[in-house]
Each structure stands twice: as C-alpha cells, then as structure tokens.
C-alpha cells in the first residue's frame, strides 16, 4: 500500500515568508509525528497527533510554528515569518498505534534564504 507522502519535497523560502508543509500518513494510522532534522543532528521532535487531537506540541520551537490535523488524516505544518535557523529537513511519520514502529515520509527540505 501507499506509504507516508510529504510535499513539497523541496522548498526554498525567503526570510519572512510563510510556508506550509503537507503530510499524508498511511490510511488508518492513528498517530502522526513531525520531526525537524538540522544538518548533522538527529531528528528532533516537534509535535504529535493522535487522530485529530494534538496531544503534545512541546517540541515546537516558537509560536511561529503551527501544526494541524483537522480530520485525523492529512496534517499540515505551518511556519510563519521563516528565519534562516528554520532551514532543515522536516520529517513526518505515522504509526498504527501509539508507541509502535514509525513509518516515515521522505521529508521536506526547507531552505530559508
């Protein structure tokens, strides 16, 4: 079946622009995560959804970051007024149930110039 799909694959934004990153998880997967991976680092947790409920947003680095999953399926990560330090790969992952194997998308590489 289809895996986790993320779009766009690459995004270049000028500093100050808003961006929206999309994640289409595997159908039926309850849990959805967003991670940020900066160059040379491991993936850092941003936020977690169980169905449509955002249960943990402790990793969002500032109030410029916002995520939603309104119908418990597709999720969007929005970054307002992008800064250079937002340049990273943004990974989305889903799992059938909490605490089980994560299935990752290919990520969106965001470059802020």
Partner 1 sequence: ILNVEQSPQSLHVQEGDSTNFTCSFPSSNFYALHWYRWETAKSPEALFVMTLNGDEKKKGRISATLNTKEGYSYLYIKGSQPEDSATYLCAFLFTGGGNKLTFGTGTQLKVEL
* Sheet order of strands, 5-7 included: 5-7, 19-24, 75-79, 65-68
Q: How far is the CB of 18 from partner 1 (least distance, A)?
A: 26
Q: How far is the CB of 14 from partner 1 (least distance, A)?
A: 26
Q: How far is the CB of 70 from partner 1 (least distance, A)?
A: 20
When the beta carbons of 28 and 42 are compared against partner 1, the nearer one is 42
Q: How far is the CB of 65 from partner 1 (least distance, A)?
A: 16
When the beta carbons of 34 and 86 are compared against partner 1, the nearer one is 34
When the beta carbons of 36 and 82 are compared against partner 1, the nearer one is 36
- Positive or negative: CA dihedral 108, 18, 59, 52: negative
When the beta carbons of 17 and 104 are compared against partner 1, the nearer one is 104
Give the alpha-carbon dihedral of 65, 2, 70, 29, to 10 degrees: -100
C-alpha span between 58 and 53 (Å, rounded): 14
| Token digits of residue 66 | 């916002």
C-alpha span between 106 and 84 (Å, rounded): 22
Binding positions for partner 1, rule: CB under 8 A: 3-4, 31, 33, 35, 40-45, 48, 50, 55-56, 59, 91, 93, 98-107
């Amino acid at each position: 079946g289809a895996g986790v799909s993320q779009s766009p694959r690459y995004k270049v934004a000028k500093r100050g622009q808003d961006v929206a990153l999309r994640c289409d998880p595997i159908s039926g997967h309850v849990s959805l995560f967003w991670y940020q991976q900066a160059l040379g680092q491991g993936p850092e947790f941003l936020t977690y959804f169980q169905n449509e409920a955002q249960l943990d947003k402790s990793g969002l680095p500032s109030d410029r970051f916002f995520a939603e999953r309104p119908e418990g399926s597709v999720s969007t990560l929005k970054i307002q007024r992008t800064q250079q330090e937002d340049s990273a790969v943004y990974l989305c992952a889903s799992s059938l149930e909490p605490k089980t194997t994560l299935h990752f998308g290919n990520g969106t590489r965001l470059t802020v110039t």
